[in-house]
């Protein structure tokens, strides 16, 4: 059974004061349980403060990236054990902004996925095609390549601990979003690949969330698709009210997917 999950990616937004106030807004808006799991990924600088504010709440702490080594001469980097030390248990990897702005290749993302698993945290492997790739009919080829490379060398039982995020690059921060049917088609394809790479049981249990301009207005129709297990939310997660509304929509059909 797959419990819906909504992850907020705050990206490079928020001074400490702003991050504290956003985290407090989410905590205080949770007087009523939402029925979906919730995780926020603040900037590294705000992790301790946000972790403290959300400590007694059901909202989990996550991070936006990490290095593959546990420690060493890697100027400017942060490792999985350092993030775990701050309470972050969910780590986004292969976000398209890192793939495209910083040139992160699949091989490096794979090293990070394996490191995060080895340290006992949950990697959220992000995959998605560009507008040009979709136009050329290369959507499935692209995401299949990213998935196979990202999970290369990962054993079946470890794949069961991974989460996937389908994020079409053309939909991130653009206000455009994949239709529920377009997203569900890709999610179904990814689930089929997981079935092949691990097993049908692992595929049934693995959560695949959608990201790309998710807003309170479109979250409900996306959540109606049984293949969509929640959302990775960028811009809209910077408002506590909107993030909570999306989480409520993600849980709207009352919950779990799968057999």
Residue in the structure block whose two tokens are 């080829």: 141
Token duo for residue 197: 């790479």
| Using rule CB under 6 A, residue 232 touches ligand PEP | yes
Cα–Cα dist 176/134, whole Å: 14
Question: Which string of DSSP letters, residue by residue, matches 156-191?
Answer: HHHHTT-EEEE--GGGTTTS----HHHHHHHHHHHH
Nearer to ligand PEP, 53 or 172 (CB): 172
| Using rule CB under 6 A, residue 233 touches ligand PEP | yes
Q: Give yes or no for a contact between 124 and 170, defined as CB atoms under 8 angstroms apart.
A: no
Which of 37, 95, 104, 187 does the annotation list as catalytic?
Answer: 95
Residue from 65, 139, 213, 225 binding ligand PEP (CB under 6 A): 213
Q: Which residue is nearest to ligand PEP (CB)?
A: 234
Q: Establish whether 167 is a catalytic residue.
A: yes
Q: Give yes or no for a contact between 191 and 2, defined as CB atoms under 8 angstroms apart.
A: no
Which of 97, 129, 133, 167 does the annotation list as catalytic?
Answer: 167
Contacts of ligand PEP in 130-169 (CB under 6 A)? 167
Which residues are 90's β-sheet partners? Answer: 62, 122
| Using rule CB under 6 A, residue 235 touches ligand PEP | yes
| Using rule CB under 6 A, residue 172 touches ligand PEP | yes
Question: Length of the chain in residues, anyone?
Answer: 259
Cα–Cα dist 97/94, whole Å: 8
Q: Establish whether 157 is a catalytic residue.
A: no
Q: Which one of the spans 36-44, 144-152, 185-193, 206-214 is the region binding ligand PEP (CB under 6 A)?
A: 206-214
Catalytic positions: 95, 167
Residues found near ligand PEP in the complex (CB under 6 A)? 9, 11, 167, 172-173, 211-214, 232-236
């Amino acid at each position: 059974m797959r419990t819906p999950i909504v992850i907020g990616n705050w990206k490079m937004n928020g001074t400490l004061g702003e991050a504290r106030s956003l985290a407090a807004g989410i905590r205080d808006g949770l007087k009523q349980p939402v029925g979906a799991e919730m995780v926020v990924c603040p900037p590294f600088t705000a992790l301790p403060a946000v972790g403290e504010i959300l400590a007694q709440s059901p909202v989990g702490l996550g991070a936006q990236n990490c290095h593959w080594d546990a420690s060493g001469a890697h100027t400017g980097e942060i490792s999985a054990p350092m993030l775990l030390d701050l309470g972050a248990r969910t780590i986004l990897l292969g976000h398209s902004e890192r793939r495209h702005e910083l040139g992160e290749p699949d091989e490096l993302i794979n090293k990070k996925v394996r490191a995060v698993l080895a340290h006992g945290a949950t990697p959220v492997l992000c995959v998605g095609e560009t507008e040009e790739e979709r136009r050329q009919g290369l959507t499935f080829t692209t995401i299949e390549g990213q998935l196979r490379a990202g999970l290369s060398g990962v054993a079946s039982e470890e794949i069961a601990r991974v989460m996937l995020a389908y994020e079409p690059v053309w939909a991130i921060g653009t206000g455009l979003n994949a239709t529920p049917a377009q997203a569900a088609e890709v999610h179904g394809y990814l689930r089929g690949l997981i079935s092949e790479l691990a097993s049908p049981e692992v595929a049934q249990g693995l959560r695949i969330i959608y990201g790309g301009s998710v807003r309170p207005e479109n979250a409900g129709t996306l959540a109606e698709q049984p293949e969509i297990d929640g959302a990775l939310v960028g811009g809209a997660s910077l408002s506590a009210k909107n993030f909570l509304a999306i989480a409520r929509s993600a849980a709207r059909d009352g919950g779990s997917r799968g057999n």
